[in-house]
Amino acid sequence: MYEFTIIVPVYNEEDNLERVEKELLAYTKIASKKTAILFVNDGSKDNSQSLIETICARNEAFHYISFKENHGLSAAIKAGFDHVESPLVGYIDSDLQTAPEDFNLLLQHIGEYDLVTGVRANRKDSFVKNMSSKIANGIRRAFTHDGMDDTGCPLKVIKTDYAKRIPMFKGLHRFLPAMILLQNGRILQVPVQHFPRIAGTAKFGLWNRLLGPLMDCFAYLWMKKKYINYEVKDKG
């Protein structure tokens, strides 16, 4: 029924969810593909789940899954990948620092590529956050050679059959382009808008934005060495 599903990971975002509903509902009316929305509630301890259920009850294209407890962003994205049935899948953060309408920019290229990711142009974050992200991206590129400038950008579109084959672990949401390359897929980055957070609190600090990803790079190298990728030549 749907061509594209947008995963929205949620952790304690009750102050943002009505705005998320409004903007994503508006996007579904202008989307270049017939679009569904999938909330993944990552064990929120505030009123997020109640709001999600209300939103989904009044919008046919909105659905949700809810974790028993908090497992982190990578787990929420992985659960979304596991549950979607549309041929294309994407995700956006519930803080809406990126614009849903920019999905149309990414979808323009997804026919030729297997993952298209946004690059946050003119970022509206603090100096410390911008610099730590820039350093972390530089380190990651040195390990993965994926050529991507901003893998932390929470705006991506992936062909679902590629997304479902990604062996996700904690922290590997930053390595999605590299994981597509391991499948011999093609990747592209496209500039997108960025806005300051206007509600809720950031879930990542200096440790999990800089030092954590450095450790994850070594996990990626191990995975790359052990990764199984095959093509079936014939069957009968």
Per-residue pLDDT band for 130 (boundaries 50, 70, 90) equals low
The answer, yes or no, to whether residue 69 has pLDDT greater than 70, is yes
Helices (H), 3-102: 17-30, 48-57, 73-83
Closest by Cα among 223, 221, 194, 204 to 139: 221
Average pLDDT over residues 172-195: 90
Q: How far apart are the first and last CA of the chain?
A: 31
pTM for the model stands at 0.85
* Sheet bearing 35-41, strands edge to edge: 62-66, 35-41, 4-10, 88-92, 155-159, 115-120, 187-192
Range 8-37 burial, b when 16+ CB lie within 10 A, else e: bbbbbbbbbbeebbeebbebbeebebebbb
What are the residue ranges spanned by the domains of the chain? Answer: 4-226
Q: Count how many residues are written for the chain.
A: 236
CB 88 within 8 A of CB 110: yes
Average pLDDT over residues 42-47: 96
The answer, yes or no, to whether residue 50 has pLDDT greater than 70, is yes
* 100/36 Cα distance (integer angstroms): 12
The answer, yes or no, to whether residue 147 has pLDDT greater than 70, is yes
Phi, psi values for residue 158, rounded to 5°: -135, 145
Q: Write the single-letter amino acid at 84.
A: V
Per-residue pLDDT band for 126 (boundaries 50, 70, 90) equals low
Give the CATH H-level superfamily of domain 4-226: Spore Coat Polysaccharide Biosynthesis Protein SpsA; Chain A (3.90.550.10)
The answer, yes or no, to whether residue 31 has pLDDT greater than 80, is yes
